[in-house]
Amino acid sequence: MPNVTLMIATRKGAWLFHGDQTRRSWRTGGPHFLGHEINHVVLDPRDGRTMVAAGKTGHLGPTLFRSTDRGATWKEAARPPAFSKQEGGRSVDHTFWLTPGHRDDPGAWYAGTSPQGLFRSEDGGDSWAPVSGFNDRPGASKAAGGSQDGTPDGPKLHSILVDPRDRRHLYLGMSGGGVHESTDEGATWRPLIQGLEVVGGLDPANIAFHDPHCIRLCPSQPDRLYQQNHCGIYRLDRPSEQWVRVGKAMPAEVGDIGFPMVVHPHDADRAWVFPMDGTDVWPRTCPGGTPAVYATRDGGDSWQRQSAGFPAGQVWWTVKRQSMTADRADTVGLYFGTTSGEVWASVDEGESWDCIVRHLPEIYAVEAATA
Amino acid sequence: MRVMVPSALRSYTGAGEVDAEGDTLAALLDDLDRRYPGVRFRIVDEQDRIRRHIRFFVNGEQRFDLTLSVGPDDEIFIVQALSGG
C-alpha cells in the first residue's frame, strides 16, 4: 500500500498530513504560512518533491511559495503571477488553482487566478508569465461578464487540465465564463459549452452565464471528462462536444448541485460528488443537514448514496470545489475537507468514512500525493 | 531615510525599521525591493496601485500618490490596514 500525503489549504494556512501504510494514522506537519489565505497546495508528480502553494494575507498582495523538498522548507517565488501592466489593467487578487504541466514539459506549471487569468511557469513555479493567448483573446472581457469580472467573492479560473497524451491539449473552467479548450498549448481557445444549462431564463448561448464549478479529466480514459456545474452534473466523451447532464439520475430530493467532482484514477465509469443545497437563496450546505457523498459506477447513469460514518443530521458545513480528492492506491482512498475545518477520509472508495482531522480553519483545498 | 514596516512584511526585512533611498515613494519602493526582493509586490499591485489594505504615512500624514517627492529627512510609515477576522 502506498504512502499518502494530504495537502490541506485553509483560510489561515496550510497543513500536510502524512499517512501510514493503512491510511488510518496520520502525522501532522504544519502549520505552514500561518495567517495566510492558502487556496491550493500541489505536489509535482513528475519529480515527487516540488510543491507550490498559492497564498496571500488579508492585507498584503498575493504570492506563491515553493518547496523542493516535499514541503520541509519553502521559499517565495521570484515572480508570482501578475497581469501585464496597461492603462486600467487588472491586478491579481489571488492565485486560486495550480496544475503541474505535462510530463514531457518539465518545469511547466499553470496557474488560474481571480480575477480570471491564466499564467504559466517554465521553471518549476519560480517565475510566471501571463498566457496572452487566453487572457487577451478576443471577447475575453465579455466572456468574463465585463471588465469588472466580479462575483462578490471573486470569480475563479480553475480546473486547468492537461491531456496526458498531448501537452498542447488543455482545458480550463471559468466560474464566470464557461469551459474552454486549447489544442495549441494555450495560443488559441474556444468555448466547450454545448449541452450545459444556465440559470433559468438566461441565454445558454451567452458564455458569461456559464458557471462550471469543477471539471475533471479521467486519467484512465482522457477522452472522458466529468463536471460539477452550477446547474448540474455532466459527462463529456470526446470527440463529442455535447455535455450530457448525468446528474438527472440523482435523487430528486438531493439534486445535482455541488462544488467538487472527483474521478476514479483507474476506472472512468466511476466518480464521486458531494451535493449541496442549491435551493432558493442557495444555502450551499449539506441538503437537509445530512452529509452524503454520491458515487457512480456506470458513468453517471445511476448514483449511490455513501454516508456511513457521517453524523445523522444537523450538519451544516459544505465542501468547496478544490476540497475533495482521491489518492491513486489500488483500492482508492477518498478525502475531503469541510468549511468547518474537518478532514474526512475513506479507505474503501467511499463505503465508509472517518473524520481524521478536526479544528482546522475553513478548508479551501485538499490534494492527495501518492508516493 | 527611515522606513517603518508592518509586522506582515518583516519576513522580508527582518526588522521593523529599515533604511532605503529614493526621491519619490515609488523610487523608495523600488529600492526596498532591491534590498528585500518580493516585498514591493505585496504592497503595490502590477498596475502600480497601492493595495487595498496598505497605507503610507509620510511624517505622520497619510499619502496616496506614489509620485510624491520624499527626502532623506522624511520618515515613512507603511501600515497594514487590518480588517476582517
Could you tell me the residue range of the domain that residue A282 belongs to? 4-370
**A354 contacts: CB under 8 Å, gap ≥ 6:** A24, A309, A344, A345, A346
Asked whether residue A301 carries a pLDDT value surpassing 90, the answer given is: yes
CATH architecture type of domain B2-80: Roll (3.10)
Select from A57, A76, A89 the Cβ nearest to the Cβ of B38: A76
- Calpha distance B60→B58 (Å, rounded): 5
**Chain A residues with beta carbon closer than 8 angstroms to that of B9:** 60
Q: Can you tell me the distance from the alpha carbon of A39 to that of B22, in angstroms, rounded to the nearest whole number? A: 35
Q: Are A93 and A151 in contact (CB under 8 A)?
A: no
**How confident is the model over A75-92, as pLDDT tens digits?**
999 999 999 998 888 999
- Say how many domains are in chain A: 1
Rounded to whole angstroms, the Cα distance separating A141 from B84 reads: 30
pLDDT tens-digit profile of A235-289? 999 999 999 999 999 999 999 999 999 999 999 999 999 999 988 888 899 999 9
Lowest mean per-residue pLDDT among A50-59, A265-274, B32-41: A50-59
Report pLDDT digits (tens) over A202-220.
999 999 899 999 999 999 9
CB B26 within 8 A of CB A47: no
How big is the CA angle at A211 (ends A209 and A135), to the nearest 5 degrees? 85
Distance from CA of B37 to the nearest CA of A (A): 8
pLDDT at residue A35 greater than cutoff 70: yes
- Check CB contact of B50 with chain A, cutoff 8 Å: no
CB contact under 8 A, B53 and A84: no
Greatest distance between any 2 Cα atoms in chain B:
37
Q: Does B10 touch chain A (CB under 8 A)?
A: no
Average pLDDT over residues B8-34: 96
Confidence of residue A48 (pLDDT cuts 50, 70, 90): very high
Nearest residue to A363 via CA among A41, A5, A28: A41
Region of B30 on the Ramachandran plot (φ > 0 left; ψ -120 to 50 alpha; else beta): alpha
**Is the per-residue pLDDT at A156 higher than 70?**
yes
Cell triple for residue B4? 517603518
pTM of the model: 0.94
Give the residue among A74, A35, A29 at the shortest CA–CA distance from A53: A74
Show the cell assigned to B39.
516585498
Assess A12–B contact: CB distance below 8 Å, yes or no: no
Model confidence at A59, pLDDT cuts 50, 70, 90, reads: confident
Q: How much of chain A exceeds pLDDT 90, in percent?
A: 88
Q: Which three cell numbers stand for residue A161?
A: 487540465
Angle at A262 between CA A29 and CA A276, to 5 degrees: 95
pLDDT at residue A145 greater than cutoff 70: no
Q: What is the pLDDT at residue A139?
A: 82
Longest dimension (CA), chain A: 56
pLDDT band at A58 (very low <50, low <70, confident <90, very high): confident
CATH of the domain at A112: 2.130.10.10
Measuring CA to CA, which residue among A88, A82, A180, A81 is closest to residue A134? Answer: A180
Least confident range from A198-202, B5-9, B55-59: namely: A198-202
Task: Answer yes or no: do B44 and A82 touch at CB < 8 A.
Answer: no
Query: Residues in chain B, how many?
Result: 85
Q: 3-state SS of chain B: helix, strand, coil percent to 5?
A: 25, 30, 45
